[in-house]
Structure 1
Amino acid sequence: MKKASKFEKVAARCWNLLNEGKPFTPIFVISTMLLYHFSDLLNIAQLERLFISFVLVLPLLAIYYVYDYPLFLRNYLWIPYVVFLIVWKFADLSLIFLALGLYFFFTVFFWGTLYYHLRIGITWWNFTRFWKLVLKNSDSTSGNAQEQLPKFLLILSLWQYLYESDFQHIHYDRLIVFYCFIFLFSLILHKNLFDWKPKVIESYTNNVPAPAKAINDKVIVIVIDGMRKDRFEQAHAPFLKQLRKNGTDFTQMETVYPARTVVCFTSMFTGTYPFEHGIKSNMVWKLGIKVESIFDSLRKVGKTGRLLGIAHLVDSMGDDVETVTAVMHNDVADRNIIERAKRIMKEQDPDLLVVQLIATDQTGHSRGVLYDEYIQKIEEADALIKEYVEWLEEQGKLKNATLIICADHGQADGIGGHGHLDEGERYVPFFMYGPAIEKDKRIDEKHSIVSLAPTIAYLLGAPYPSHSRGPVLIEAVRKEVSDE
Structure 2
Amino acid sequence: MKSASKFEKFAARSWNLLNEGKPFTPIFTVGTMVLFHLGDLGNTAGITEFLLALLTVLPLFIMYFVYDFPLFLRNYLWIPLVVFIIAWPELNINLLLFAAGLYFFFTVFFWGTFYYHLRIGTSWLNFTRFWKLVLKNSDSTSGNAQEQLPKVFLLLSVWELSFTALAGGASVPLLDIVLFYGFVLLFAFILHKYLFDWKPKAYEGYTKDEGPKVPDNCLSDKVIVIVIDGMRKERFYEANTPFLDQLKENGTEYLNMETVYPARTVVCFSSMFTGTYPFEHGIKSNMVYKLGVNTETIFDSLRKVGKRGRLLGIAHLVDAMGSDVETVTAVMHKDKADTNMLARARKIIDEQDPDLFIVQMIGTDQVGHSRGVLYDDYIEKIEEADALIKEFVHWLEAEGKMENTTLVVCADHGQADGIGGHGHLDEGERFVPFFMHGPHIARGIKVQEKHSLVSLAPTISYLMGAPYPSSSRGKVLMDAIKAEKDES
> TM-score, structure 1 length as denominator?
0.98
Q: 2:185 aligns with which of 175, 183, 204?
A: 183
Q: 1:406 aligns with which of 396, 407, 410?
A: 410
Is residue 195 from structure 1 mapped to residue 197 from structure 2 by the alignment? yes
- 1:53-102 alpha-carbon deviations (Å, 9 max, x no partner): 10110000000000000100000000000000001112101100110010
Is residue 80 from structure 1 mapped to residue 80 from structure 2 by the alignment? yes
Is residue 104 from structure 1 mapped to residue 104 from structure 2 by the alignment? yes
Distance 1:481 1:83 in 2: 67
Of 31-40 and 115-124, the range deviating more from structure 2: 31-40
Of 206-215 and 8-17, the range deviating more from structure 2: 206-215
Shift of 1:171: 2.6
Distance 2:159 2:50 in 1: 8
Aligned to 1:126: 126
Is residue 26 from structure 1 mapped to residue 30 from structure 2 by the alignment? no
Q: 1:281 aligns with which of 273, 285, 288?
A: 285
Aligned to 2:438: 434
Secondary structure at the aligned position of 1:331 is classed as: coil
Shift of 1:170: 2.6
Q: 1:252 aligns with which of 228, 240, 256?
A: 256
Shift of 1:293: 0.6
Secondary structure at the aligned position of 1:475 is classed as: coil
Aligned to 1:268: 272
Is residue 114 from structure 1 mapped to residue 114 from structure 2 by the alignment? yes
Q: How does 1:53-72 map to 2 (within 5 A)?
A: 53-72=53-72
Distance 1:209 1:61 in 2: 49
Q: 1:171 aligns with which of 150, 158, 173?
A: 173
Q: Answer yes or no: is the 8 Å Cα contact 2:75–2:146 preserved in 1.
A: yes
Distance 2:152 2:336 in 1: 38
Ranges of 4+ aligned residues in structure 1 off by more than 2 Å: 166-171, 210-213, 479-482
> Amino acid of the residue matched to residue 460 of structure 2?
I
Shift of 1:211: 3.0
Is residue 359 from structure 1 mapped to residue 348 from structure 2 by the alignment? no
Distance 1:169 1:5 in 2: 52
Q: How does 1:321-470 map to 2 (within 5 A)?
A: 321-470=325-474
Shift of 1:168: 6.1
Distance 2:295 2:374 in 1: 37
Distance 1:312 1:125 in 2: 28
Shift of 1:480: 3.8
Distance 2:113 2:377 in 1: 16
Aligned to 1:155: 155
Shift of 1:140: 2.0
- 1:252-299 alpha-carbon deviations (Å, 9 max, x no partner): 000011111000010100011111111111000111111011011111
Q: Answer yes or no: is the 8 Å Cα contact 1:139–1:419 preserved in 2.
A: yes
> TM-score, structure 2 length as denominator?
0.98
Aligned to 1:40: 40
Secondary structure at the aligned position of 1:356 is classed as: strand
> Amino acid of the residue matched to residue 267 of structure 2?
V
Q: Answer yes or no: is the 8 Å Cα contact 1:360–1:377 preserved in 2.
A: yes
Q: 1:311 aligns with which of 308, 315, 318?
A: 315
Q: Answer yes or no: is the 8 Å Cα contact 2:219–2:483 preserved in 1.
A: no
Shift of 1:375: 0.3
- 1:13-72 alpha-carbon deviations (Å, 9 max, x no partner): 110000000000000000001101111222100100110010110000000000000100
> Amino acid of the residue matched to residue 360 of structure 2?
Q
Q: Answer yes or no: is the 8 Å Cα contact 1:90–1:157 preserved in 2.
A: no
- 1:340-390 alpha-carbon deviations (Å, 9 max, x no partner): 111111110000000000000000000000000100000000000000000
- 1:428-451 alpha-carbon deviations (Å, 9 max, x no partner): 000000000000000000000000
Distance 2:261 2:53 in 1: 35
Distance 2:164 2:214 in 1: 66
Distance 1:42 1:171 in 2: 26
Distance 1:390 1:479 in 2: 25
Distance 1:281 1:55 in 2: 28
Distance 2:424 2:90 in 1: 33
Q: Answer yes or no: is the 8 Å Cα contact 2:373–2:416 preserved in 1.
A: yes
| Alignment root-mean-square deviation, CA | 1.1
Is residue 214 from structure 1 mapped to residue 218 from structure 2 by the alignment? yes
Distance 2:184 2:398 in 1: 63
Distance 1:276 1:191 in 2: 22
Secondary structure at the aligned position of 2:336 is classed as: helix
> Amino acid of the residue matched to residue 453 of structure 2?
I
Distance 2:174 2:215 in 1: 64
Q: Answer yes or no: is the 8 Å Cα contact 2:439–2:485 preserved in 1.
A: no
Distance 1:304 1:88 in 2: 63
Secondary structure at the aligned position of 2:335 is classed as: helix
- 1:378-417 alpha-carbon deviations (Å, 9 max, x no partner): 0000000000000001111110010000000000000111
Aligned residues: 482
Q: Answer yes or no: is the 8 Å Cα contact 1:211–1:463 preserved in 2.
A: no
Gaps of 5+ in 1: none
Shift of 1:479: 4.6
Secondary structure at the aligned position of 2:100 is classed as: helix
Secondary structure at the aligned position of 1:233 is classed as: helix
